[in-house]
Amino acid sequence: MYLLNLKSSNNYSVYIDQIFSPAGHYLSRHPHLYKIIEEILLDYKLSGNNIIIEKKLERDIGTTDIISTTDADNIYYAQALKSTIFYRFAKNRFPQKSDTLTLILKKDEQGNFEVYDTWIGRNYPAFPGDQNETNKSKDYWNSHALVHNALSIQTKSITKTCPY
């Protein structure tokens, strides 16, 4: 567990489970984001049980694998390894620079906050078929996609037909 160097007036701590959380996995590939997360949360008063923060910064912080698509894009669908959800991919597209960081925080039983997930780019709804799917998921993912090679996929699951 990584304890961020933050203390609030409410006396809660903010931490990242580096082994088991999606944030820990993502940060292992983007370690420069630890300082940016601390920078964002220093001025943020956390309240509630589940918090989504989408922070636009004044500088590029990396690239996002999620892009807007058009009819000109070569789209395919596939399942990621160890997943039953179909993801939408755009072939021959590349990650784009981003100045936005999204954080998902969850309050634990002790009243502290875990940075459960984080990524470079804007917040987005879960993929259709995900347990966290919303009524916005299908519309969003019909106009957005992951860039080719953003995830390791099950090659036998590749299809051009939209599964949702």
Based on the number of CB atoms within 10 Å of its own CB, is 142 exposed (0-12), middle (13-18) or buried (19 or more)?
A: middle
Q: What separation, in Å, do the N-terminal and C-terminal C-alpha atoms of the chain show?
A: 37
pLDDT score of 1 more than 80: no
Q: Is the separation of the CB atoms in 51 and 113 below 8 Å?
A: yes
- The rounded Cα 32 to chain-centroid distance in angstroms is 16
**The pairing of beta strand 66-68 with beta strand 100-107:** unpaired
pLDDT of residue 156: 97
Question: What is this structure's pTM?
Answer: 0.88
pLDDT of residue 8: 53
pLDDT of residue 136: 97
pLDDT of residue 139: 97
Question: For the segment 31-53, what is each residue's pLDDT rounded down to a tens digit?
Answer: 999 999 999 998 788 889 999 99
pLDDT of residue 43: 76
**If you average pLDDT over every residue of the chain, what do you get?**
93
Of the pLDDT bands very low, low, confident and very high (cuts 50, 70, 90), residue 144 is very high
DSSP string, 94-126: --EEE-EEEEEEEE-TTS-EEEEEEEES---PP
pLDDT score of 80 more than 90: yes
| Nearest residue to 128 via CA among 96, 69, 85 | 85
CA distance 132 to 83: 14
